[in-house]
Structure 1
Amino acid sequence: KTLVALRAMLQVAESGGQCALIAPTEVLAGQHLRSITKMLGPETSAEVMPTLLTGQMTAPERRRASLRVASGQSRIVVGTHALLSDKTIFADLAFVVVDEQHRFGVEQRETLRAKGNNPHVLVLTATPIPRTVAMTVFGDLDVSTIRTMPAGRAGIQTFVAPIAEKPAWFSRVWQRAAEEVDKGHQVFVVCPAIDAQDAAEPVIEDDGEPGPDGEDTARKGPRFGVEQVAARLAREPVTAKLRMQTLHGRMTGEEKDGIMRAFARGEIDLLIATTVIEVGVDVPNASTMIILEADRFGVSQLHQLRGRVGRSGVPGLCLLVTDAMPGTPARERVEAVAATLDGFELAEVDLELRGEGDVLGGAQSGARSSLKLLRVIKDAALIARARDIADDALAGDPALERHPGLAAALQDRLGMEERAALRKN
Structure 2
Amino acid sequence: MTVSGPTTTTGTDGDDATLAEFPMPRAAKCPFDPPPALKELQKEGPLGRVRLWDGTTPWVVTRHADQRTILGDPRVSADVHKPGYPSSAPIGPNSGSISFILMDDPEHGRLRRMVTAPFAFKRVEAMRPAIQKITDDLIDTMLAGGGPVDLVQAFALPLPSLVICELLGVPYSDHDFFQTQSKILINRDETPENRSAATAELAGYLAKLVDEKLAHPGDDLLSGLVERVRSGELTHGEVAQMGVLLLIAGHETTANMIALGTLALLEHPDQFALLRDTEDPALVASAVDELLRYLNITHSGRRRVALEDIEIAGGTIRAGEGIIVPNDIANRDPEVFADPDRLDIERDARRHVAFGFGVHQCLGQTLARLELKVAYSTLYRRIPGLRLAAELKDIPFKHDGSVYGVYELPVTW
TM tier, shorter chain? under 0.3
Could you say which structure has the larger radius of gyration?
Answer: 1
Greater share of residues in helix: 2
Whose RCO is larger (CA < 8 A, sep 6+)? 2
Greater share of residues in strand: 1
